[in-house]
Structure 1
Amino acid sequence: MFKEENKDGEKSAITADSSVNDGYKVKVPTTILVDNGSASASEILAAAARESGDIEIVGTKSFGKGTVQTAKTMEDGSTIKLTVAKWLTPNGTWINKKGITPDKVISMPDYATATIPSDSKKYTINDFGDDVLTIEKLLKALDYNVGDVDGLYTTDTAYAVQRFQRDNNLEETGVMTGKTTDTLVELVQKHLKENDPQLNAAMNMVK
C-alpha cells in the first residue's frame, strides 16, 4: 500500500492483510478521482491503486502531503502535532509538495470552485468586483450572454439577469439578489452535476 521512512532513513512497508477479502483485491472496473484538495490519506489510496493495482487516476494534480504526523497532548491540555516520518508510494516515490499527476488530466470549469455571491447583497449596473465576475461566469455556464466576462456589471449583464429571471418565473429586475442568486446557484450546481467532465471521463474509462 505504501512505505514509511523514519528520520534515520529506515523504511518499512505497509501492506494489505491478505487474509481479508482476498487481499483487498479490486475486482470491479475502477478509476480514482483526485484534485488539489486530495491530500495525505487520499493520495496514499490513489498511489497504491495505481502502482499496486494498475488503476488509472483522473483529474488534476493532488495536493502533495507526504508526511506522517501524530498528535501529542501536553500537560496544560494543549495539543502539538509532530511529524514523525514520511510516507512513500509503493514504488518508493515521495510526493511531498509535488502531488500525484493523474494519468488523464482533466480540469473542472473555473466556475466550479468560485466563491458563491451572498444572496443578501444586491448587484446591479456599474458594480464591479470578484462577485460580479462569478455571477457572469455562472450565467455564461447556463448559456446566457453576459457580454465580456470581466467583473463589471454592465447593461449586458443586467439583460442576462432579466432573461434568467424570466425563464425561472422570478421578478424581472435585472438585479442579482435574493431568490435570483439562490436559483442561479442551484441551477449551476445541477448543471455541473449533470456535466461533470472529470466524473464523465472516469465513468467512460470503466465502461
Structure 2
Amino acid sequence: MGEHPRRRADAQRNRDRLVAAASAVIAEAGPEASLEEVARRAGVGSATLHRHFSSRAELLEAVLHDRVRTLCALADELLTAPGAGTALVTWLRAVVAHAATTRGLGPALTGYASDPRFSPHTMIREAARQLLARAHREGSVAPNATVDDVLRLANGISLAVDSLADATECADALITLVTDGLLRRPANG
C-alpha cells in the first residue's frame, strides 16, 4: 500500500514551493541564506523543509537542478522561435541572469556528493550547441563562433558583474553591447 495520492500531491507542492522560495532567498542572500527564511517564504514549517531536504546542500542542489532544467526548457522552446540569432541571444541573457542570481551556489556545493545523473555543465553545453547550430545554419551568427566562445562570453559577463548590486541589469547591458557590436561603422553615403 502506497501513500495516499492527495498526500503525495501535497508533498510535491510543498517541495516545489520550498525550491522556489530557496531560489529567491539565495538570489538575495547567497547560498548561506537562512533556511528558516526559506521555510517561511514557502509557507511551511522548518520540520517540513527538513523532511524534504536533509541538508542545506541537498536543497541547494535541488535549486540548481530546477534552474538548469528551466534554462534547458527555454532552449528547447527557442529552437523553434523565429530568428535563430535572436533566440540564441535571448537564451544567453537567461544564462547570464541565472548566473547573476546563483550567488555562489556552485562553490557551496563543492564536496557534496550530488546526483551522478545530473550534469549541469553538459546540459547547458548541449542547449548552447543546439541553439548555436541553428543560428549557424540560418547565417545569423559569425561562422567561426563556437560553443566554447558563446559559453565563455556568458561566463565572462557573469564574472564581470558578479559583485555588483545591479548585476542582472549590467549583464543585460553588456550582452546588448556585445551582440550589437561595440563599433559603429559609418553608413555608406
Asked whether the two chains share a fold, i.e. TM above 0.5, the reply is no
| Structure with more helix by fraction | 2
* Larger RCO (CA within 8 A; separation ≥ 6): 2
| Structure with more strand by fraction | 1
Give the structure-1-normalised TM-score.
Answer: 0.23
